[in-house]
Structure 1
Amino acid sequence: MIPVHDPELQADQQPQWTAIILAGQRPEGDPMAAYCSVTYKALIPINGQTMLERVARALIASPYVGKIVVMAQSPEALKSGVAGDLANNDRISFVESNDGIATSIHHVIGTDIAPWPVLVTTADNALLTDEILDCFFQSHTGQDVAVAVVERRTMLSAYPDAHRTWLKFRGGAYSGANLFALHNEAAKPAVAFWSAVEKDRKKGWKIFAHFGPWLLLRALSRTIGFKEAMAQAGRRMGLWAEPIILPIAEAAIDVDKPDDLELVTGILIAREG
């Protein structure tokens, strides 16, 4: 059994996490890949490195992360598209995904490929840093499922023109940060549920509709906070679920659209020169 995370312990005293990088794309191709004239979205270059390389390097540098699994429909193509130190790194494996994201995750979590605990992120999470990872892992206190988010005030204070999808609750509005903690076997029902609602992932009200009219009504009327809403949804599945609210605006900026790419490129150029 995985011991409960104690934030007072050092990273090297904690069980190391398996990090899954979702690097697949639609069978018909990805609009951002086409926009950047590359075959795979994960291999879009930004300031000298592909997005996949950036995410992998951030994870490798984290003392909380052990194994890294790159999951995609064409894993060998992605492996050949990254730098040799990553392609040949013993900690990184390239695994073929199934039809759906959630189905692919469910197939490997808790196995030798991706032993518990598991962190899930995405290849377009190009601004991922050790600071973001430290904040996320240090805020994880044993939840079966935890989802990283950034509050709208944090985002707009740093990037007032940023366009994100906001989940609105009592006390604030939140945007996802592409970090998901799956701590143990108890998390599996949440992954199975995600498979059923994957197409509605950007429509919070549709997701909460699956948990009955009362929770949906409270979510729509904003008479429930995000933490309480996630806790109630988790209890319906027999697990402990909570959001982890990150105080770092860049954590919620991924690359879905050309203006995202422009923003991320500007941030990385300013950061790296």
Structure 2
Amino acid sequence: MQRWTAILLAGQRPGVDPLAQAFGESRKAKVKVAGEAMLSRVARTLLAAPGIERIVVMAQAPAQLFDGDCAWMASEPRIGTVHSDSGIATSVAAVAGGPEAPWPVLVTTADHPLLTVPMIEAMMAGAGDADVAVGVVGRRILLAAYPENRRTWLKFRGEAWSGANLFVLRSDRARIALGLWSEVERDRKKAMKLIAHFGPWLAIRALTRTITLEAAMRAVGRKSGLVAKPVALPFAEACIDVDKPGDHALAEQILAARRDG
């Protein structure tokens, strides 16, 4: 079995995080869901996945996270830490493929307490030999299970998609995608310029929704010199991260149902 490294993003944006503030925590990753800090819950899930050999927790001050529910992580030999800088993409690029996080790499976030081992396995298997893969959930799947839930949707031909906070990076060519991601992070107004970079044909088809997400990512990858693909996950909960109190309440309901079921 191939051995993977998981990069677990646990930082937060400058200033007070509204969710952390609402639950009396200084850091979002420490907010409890169903009685356990989100960071601890996600880390336990990752370690339970057969393919994950090591976790690297990435945050502005990762050592400060390892108390309370997360105290066990400080002495877990399969968990390491790295400091993040001002950008997620540049921080990931600095460690991915190196001794701390050798290829292949799975990236996820601490605000993903509904993550399960089957989701992780589906993501790793679905990535295949792609240099970069992005986990997504279709709107039909989410709304069939949680019709009241609201997500941000990327609309393409045939379906609208929401991100699942799961990414696969398999080779040095993934650094190309991380570089593009870093550009958008630095200036989100460059997003349209980034689309235009791949040519007017692709930009027009994306804007008019006459191309599928898979075809769009394949074209972007070909233009950039890498293989990129989406991984459509069949789990509605895969795209429910916890950013606001409403998400938190839903996540607690789902986890209670899993426990009782």
Distance change in 2, residues 1:81/1:100 (3 Å): farther
Q: Is the 8 A contact 2:134 2:166 kept in 1?
A: yes
Q: Is the 8 A contact 1:200 1:207 kept in 2?
A: no
Aligned to 1:139: 126
State the distance in 2 between where 1:100 and 1:82 align: 27
Distance change in 2, residues 1:101/1:185 (3 Å): same
State the distance in 2 between where 1:28 and 1:116 align: 33
Distance change in 2, residues 1:207/1:152 (3 Å): farther
State the distance in 2 between where 1:134 and 1:260 align: 24
Please state whether the residue corresponding to 1:99 is helix, strand or coil. Answer: coil
Q: Is the 8 A contact 2:242 2:251 kept in 1?
A: yes
Q: Is the 8 A contact 1:170 1:224 kept in 2?
A: yes
Distance change in 2, residues 1:30/1:210 (3 Å): farther
Please state whether the residue corresponding to 2:173 is helix, strand or coil. Answer: helix
Q: TM-score when scaled to structure 2?
A: 0.95
Task: Tell me if 1:151 matches 2:144.
Answer: no
Aligned to 2:13: 26
Task: Tell me if 1:255 matches 2:233.
Answer: no
- Worse overlay, 109-118 or 78-87: 78-87
Q: Is the 8 A contact 1:169 1:224 kept in 2?
A: yes
State the distance in 2 between where 1:141 and 1:49 align: 33
Shift of 1:61: 0.3
1:64 maps to a residue whose letter is: G
Q: Is the 8 A contact 1:22 1:70 kept in 2?
A: yes
Alignment coverage as a number of residue pairs: 260
Distance change in 2, residues 1:206/1:80 (3 Å): farther
Task: Tell me if 1:72 matches 2:65.
Answer: no
1:56 maps to a residue whose letter is: A
Aligned to 1:212: 199
1:216-268 CA distances to partner (integer Å, 9 max, x unpaired)?
11001111110000011111210000000001100000011221111111111
State the distance in 2 between where 1:263 and 1:164 align: 13
State the distance in 2 between where 1:53 and 1:211 align: 40
Q: Is the 8 A contact 2:39 2:70 kept in 1?
A: no
Please state whether the residue corresponding to 1:76 is helix, strand or coil. Answer: helix
Task: Tell me if 1:42 matches 2:48.
Answer: no
RMSD: 1.8
Shift of 1:199: 6.2
Work out the percentage of aligned pairs sharing the same amino acid: 53
Shift of 1:138: 2.0
The answer for unaligned runs of 5 or more in structure 2 is none
Matches within 5 A, 1:52-71: 52-71=39-58
